[in-house]
Amino acid sequence: MSILIVDDTRSVRSLIEFYLRSDGHRTLVHAESAAQALDMLGVDMPGADSPGPARDGWDLVLMDIVMPSGPNGIEACRRIKADPRHARLPVIMITSDLAETTLEAAFAAGAMDFIEKPLRRVELLARVRSALRLKAESDARTQRERELLVMTRAMEEANRKLNLSNELLLRMSVTDPLTGVANRRSLEDLLGREVARARRSHAPLSLIMADIDFFKQYNDTYGHQAGDDCLRAVAGALGACLRRSCDLLARYGGEEFAAVIPDTDQEGALRVAEMMRRAVRDLGLPHASSAAAGEVTASFGVATSTVDETWDARTLVAAADQALYAAKTAGRDRVAAHCSAPPGP
């Protein structure tokens, strides 16, 4: 353990060193003044924040209070304790002045103890052992705190990565990987909840089913990579037509999409479906094999559950699908609404 002995009298420094070496202490350093001690500790010096072998690794300072020149021991102690690197460095004052005001000033400056002159071996060693034991315990506690902090940060980082992974898995479980819109599972979950809510609130609930016209022929003509690009483009066009956060667009399967539009009657749903139809047409994707047009188009079926009906999610999907079939039978690239009684489950 490194002990710094600060006293302007050589004989006192030698006596302290003799006592300490007799107790097994070997790393002892002398300073003849408080100013020299501050220099050794790197206090109040440019670049003091940078660790250095001559300035760090101290375990105890034994400091005489009275110095013939420069700062006295109390002022030096105050400046040492004000340095963040030495905040836990114990300083024991050595003094023949036991006046209450002197001791009070020493403790206020940060001294942890004092030793009275003339020095007595038993007292000196007892106070040094106590100070070094407390310093060792403080260092061990600080090291444990640092290790705990490292472990805590590592656990926080692991938890952050785990949460990101869970979020990714959740998104993957409810998202169509090709188009980035919701998948069928997500659609069915939401539709079930919205049907129950519509029954409670007696509000209309609309569902739009969409199908890209002659998509098999598109794949045969342009290839499956172009087909995937077409699906992504159509999904983007359809999604842009849904302006409310409560609306949901999902890929129902293959080239089919579905949109859940809560609190919307049939007239409003037909307007949204027509907007979607135009949006797909406006993409201007060439489709030489389409019997409906020379570019990619889509057909739409609309079904709306009203307060007078007790449809469940399945019958609402079947009604929208029936309307979609009607739109395709009528020539495609158009919107049709379900008007007859709802189909049975």
Residues forming beta bridges with residue 207, ordered by sequence position: 260, 303
Question: Within a domain: residue 178?
Answer: no
Question: Within a domain: residue 142?
Answer: yes
3-state secondary structure of 340: coil
Question: Within a domain: residue 170?
Answer: no
- Are 142 and 235 in a shared domain? no
- Are 196 and 120 in a shared domain? no
What residues have CB less than 8 Å from 110, skipping those under 6 apart?
77, 78, 80, 81, 91
Q: In sequence order, what DSSP letters do the residues of 198-231 get, joined into one string?
A: HHHHT--EEEEEEEETTHHHHHHHH-HHHHHHHH
Residue 167 among the catalytic residues:
no
- What pLDDT does 236 receive? 96
CATH number of the domain at 332, please.
Answer: 3.30.70.270
- Are 95 and 200 in a shared domain? no
Q: What is the mean pLDDT of residues 70-77?
A: 93
* Average predicted confidence (pLDDT) for the chain: 90
pLDDT at 50 over 60: no
Domain stop point among 147, 173, 206: 147
Residues forming beta bridges with residue 208, ordered by sequence position: 259, 302
- Are 194 and 285 in a shared domain? yes
For 121-158, what is each residue's pLDDT tens digit?
A: 999 999 999 999 999 998 899 899 999 999 999 999 99
Q: How confident is the model at residue 308 (pLDDT cuts 50, 70, 90)?
A: low
What residues have CB less than 8 Å from 124, skipping those under 6 apart?
16, 19, 20, 115
3-state secondary structure of 94: strand
For 158-212, what is each residue's pLDDT tens digit?
A: 999 888 888 777 766 788 999 999 999 999 999 999 999 998 888 999 999 999 9
- Are 251 and 127 in a shared domain? no
With residue 35 as reference, give the H or E element that holds it: helix 34-41
Q: Which residues of 282-317 are buried (b: 16+ CB within 10 A; e: fewer)?
A: eeebebeebebeebbbbbbbbbbbeeebebbbebbb
- Are 188 and 143 in a shared domain? no
For 246-264, what is each residue's pLDDT tens digit?
A: 999 999 999 999 999 999 9
Residue 41: which domain range? 2-147
- What pLDDT does 167 receive? 76
- What pLDDT does 342 receive? 44
Q: What is the mean pLDDT of residues 58-71?
A: 91
Q: What is the mean pLDDT of residues 281-289?
A: 95
Among the residue ranges 52-56, 61-65, 75-79, 130-134, the one predicted with the least confidence is: 52-56
* 116, 255, 267, 309: the active-site residue: 255
Q: What is the mean pLDDT of residues 278-286?
A: 96
pLDDT at 29 over 50: yes
Q: What is the mean pLDDT of residues 322-343?
A: 85
- What pLDDT does 57 receive? 82
Q: How many domains are contained in the chain?
A: 2
Tokens of 101: 């005001």
- Are 330 and 195 in a shared domain? yes
